[in-house]
Structure 1
Amino acid sequence: MKSLKRMKIAPLLISIVFAGCAGSSGQNVIGTVDSGLATVGRTAQTGRAVIEAGKAAAAGVPVTQTGLTNALVNQLGVSPQQALGGAGAIFQAAKVKMAPEAFSSLSQTVPGVSDMLAAAPQVSQPLSGATSVLGGVGSTVNTMTSLAASFQRLNLSPSMVNQFIPVVVDYVRNTGGPMSATLFQSALTAP
C-alpha cells in the first residue's frame, strides 16, 4: 500500500518541481512545491477520513458519528458502541429538558443526533416523584441519575458521565456553533 502511494505521489512531486524550475524565480519553485505539498496533505487527510469511516462502519457505528465517536474512544478509552450510546444518552437528557423547538434546531445543526438517540439505552426516570419535592435540584439530580443508569447499561461507570459531557459539548460547539453548545450544556446542568 505504501509503495502504491509513493508511485502516485512521486509523479506529482516531479511535475511540481519541473513546473517550478521552468518559472523565472526561486519563489515560484517554492510556491509551487508548497502548493503541491498542501494538495498531498489534503489527499492524505481525505484518505484517513475514508479509512476511519470504514473502521466505524465495520464496528456498527453510523458514518455520521465518526468524529464524536472517535473523540470519545480516543480520549476516554471506551468502545465505539459505548461512545455512541453514551453520547445518545446525553442528547436524550438534553432533549427532555429543552424546548422542542430548541432541540429540533440543535439536531438540525449537529449531524447524526437521531443516530445517537437511537443508540441510547432506554431507562425509566428513576426519581420522577422527587422532582416535585426537590424543585429544580431534583430535576438536575433526576437527569444525572438517569444518565448514570444509561451508562451502567452500557457497561460504563456512572462516573464516566462527567467525562463524556465536556467531549460531547465540544462536539456540539464545533458542529453547531457556540450558541448551540451553550443551550445544550445549560439543558444538562440547569435545574
Structure 2
Amino acid sequence: MNTILKQFLLVSSIYLFTPTVDAYSLNDSLTKGTAALSSATQVKGEAQQLVGQLQSQLGVSQAQAVGGTGAMLQLAKNQLGANTMSTLSGNATGLSSLLGGSSGLSKNLLSNISSMSGVQSAFSALGMDPAMIQQFLPIVLGFFGEQGVGSTLLGQLQSLWTPAK
C-alpha cells in the first residue's frame, strides 16, 4: 500500500471515530457535572461508613459511591417524600451530604431524579454500569437496617430501587 493511501486511511479513520462537537459537548457537560457533584460533597457523619462499605465491597471510587447513593436517595426523597429522608437522616447522620450538601450545583444535578431511569443515568454518568444499582442495593439497605430503619421503610426502598423487569 502506498504512503499516500495509508495517510488518507489514517486521517479518514480519525475523522470517522471522532465524536461530533454536540455529542462531545453533552458528554463533557455530564462528566463535569458528575465530577462537581462528587468533589463538592464532603461526606459527613455515619454516611462516611456507608460510603466506605461501598468502596471496600464493590471497589468503586468515593465519587461513585457518593454519587450513586445520592441518586438512590434522591429518588426516595422525590417518590416517598421529604418525611422519608427525615426518617432516614434521623437514623443515620450525614445523609444530606450524599444529596449534595450545601452545593447548589450538586443539588440541581440530583433534584431531577424522579424515576429509576434517572438513577440509571446517574450511574452511567459516574462511569458505572446501571446494573451496579443491584450491587449497591443490599449494602445500602443493610446499612439502613443496622442504623435502625424499620422493615416497612426498608421494603419501600427495596421496591423503589429494584428496576422493573
Check whether TM > 0.5: yes
Aligned pairs for 1:159-170 (under 5 A) are: 159-170=131-142
Q: Which has the higher contact order (CA 8 A, sep 6+)?
A: 2
Partners of 2:44 and 2:95 within 8 A in 1: no
Aligned with 1:122 (options 100, 109, 119)? 109
**Aligned residue type for 1:122:** L
Question: Larger radius of gyration, structure 1 or 2?
Answer: 1
User: Distance in 1 between the 2:52 and 2:92 partners?
Assistant: 16
Q: Show structure 2 runs of 5+ residues with no match.
A: 1-40, 101-105
Decide whether aligned partners of structure 1 residues 75 and 85 sit closer, same or farther in structure 2, where only a CA change above 3 A counts. Answer: same
Using the size of structure 1 for normalisation, the TM-score is: 0.52
| Matched-pair contact (CA < 8 Å) for 1:121–1:153 | no
1:94 Cα deviation after fit: 1.1
1:16-95 paired onto structure 2 within 5 Å: 61-64=42-45, 65-95=47-77
Q: Deviations over 1:22-64 (max 9, x none)?
A: xxxxxxxxxxxxxxxxxxxxxxxxxxxxxxxxxxxxxx75242
In the alignment, structure 1 residue 171 sits paired with structure 2 residue 153: no
Range moving further from structure 2, 152-161 or 104-113: 104-113
Quick check: which one's helix share is greater? 1
Quick one: which amino acid aligns to residue 67 of structure 1? Q
**What TM-score, normalized by structure 2, do the two folds share?**
0.59
Shift of 1:95: 1.1
1:147 aligns with 2:119: yes
Q: Distance in 2 between matches of 1:155 and 1:190?
A: 19
Number of residues paired by the alignment? 116
- Sequence identity of aligned pairs in percent? 30
Contact 1:69/1:84 (8 A) holds in 2: yes
